[in-house]
Amino acid sequence: MRYLVANLKMNKSFQETKEYLMFLATRYNDNKKVGLTLSLPYTYILMAKYLLEDKPIKIGGQNICEEEEGKCTGEISGNMLRSCGAQSVIIGHSERRKKFKEDNKIINLKIKSALKNRLSIILCIGESLSENKACKTMEILKEQIETAFKGLYENELENIMIAYEPIWAIGTGVIPTTKDISKVAKEIRKIIADDFSVSASEKMRILYGGSVNLKNITSLKNIKSIDGFLIGGACLDGGVLLQIASSL
Ligand code: 13P
């Protein structure tokens, strides 16, 4: 099974999203080889629940508040996401880490809140260009994983996918070599094996994200050590998303 998570980010109007969802609802075939999730802006989750009813497409959010309820103006809780139809949530995206100053400790609390609300998690991790150039990639990723997973039980990891998204590859058209992605994925599994168990590391689903498109998917899909992809820009065109899904 391969996984494809489409991160719509902050794009499309209500009408455009409706058309996008209706297009996918009619065109997406029950591809047993690919698990497709749409990570939507909050305001469109409920509409997606109705338009995609009975379709083999899962719905997710893009952020969750670490608090359960109350004095958090502008935030969204796990219960709100879940009760509107979301089954998963992206946590730790580099855009949120940077723009909204979300650190690894907050990300750990957000993960706990998502688990409590029965939401599966796509945890984004990734290094900046300067960290990459300074050969600090694995040091950064290890810190991101270990702080994010602090206090979790091994069985809870089954609800989490790790998306490796180098910051310098997001929206730039520049991607790491397949060899480098493979190496990072293996190192991530080693961290999970050391901290939890070999079995947990083998079960961990690892995605790659950053400038995935119709062209580079032909080589990216051959990386054996990853389980799928987190897609931004390319997923905004429903036709392209479907072509990527069917190429896996
Ligand atoms: P792009 O595919 O546009 O590079 O975005 C990747 C991303 O940030 C997905 O979460």
Tell me whether residue 16 is one of the annotated catalytic residues.
no
Which of the residues 93, 95, 102, 127 is marked catalytic?
A: 93
Question: Based on C-alpha coordinates, what's the Rg of the chain?
Answer: 17
- Whole-number Å distance between alpha carbons of 156 and 178: 29
| Mean pLDDT, rounded, for 118-144 | 98
| SS3 state of residue 235 | helix
pTM for this prediction: 0.97
Q: Residues of 44-72 as b/e, b for ≥16 C-beta within 10 angstroms?
A: bbebbeebbeebebbbbbbbbbbeeeeee
Pocket of ligand 1 contains residue 126 by CB under 6 Å: no
Distance 172 CA to ligand 1 centre (A): 9
Q: What is the pLDDT of residue 31?
A: 73
Pocket of ligand 1 contains residue 211 by CB under 6 Å: yes
- Whole-number Å distance between alpha carbons of 48 and 216: 29
Q: Give the position of tokens 């493979």.
A: 182
From the CA of 213, give the closest atom in ligand 1.
2
Which of 3, 4, 9, 237 for a ligand 1 pocket mutation test, highest count of atoms within 8 Å of Cβ?
9
pLDDT digits 0-9 by tens, 37-96? 999 999 999 999 999 998 999 999 999 999 999 999 999 999 999 999 999 999 999 999
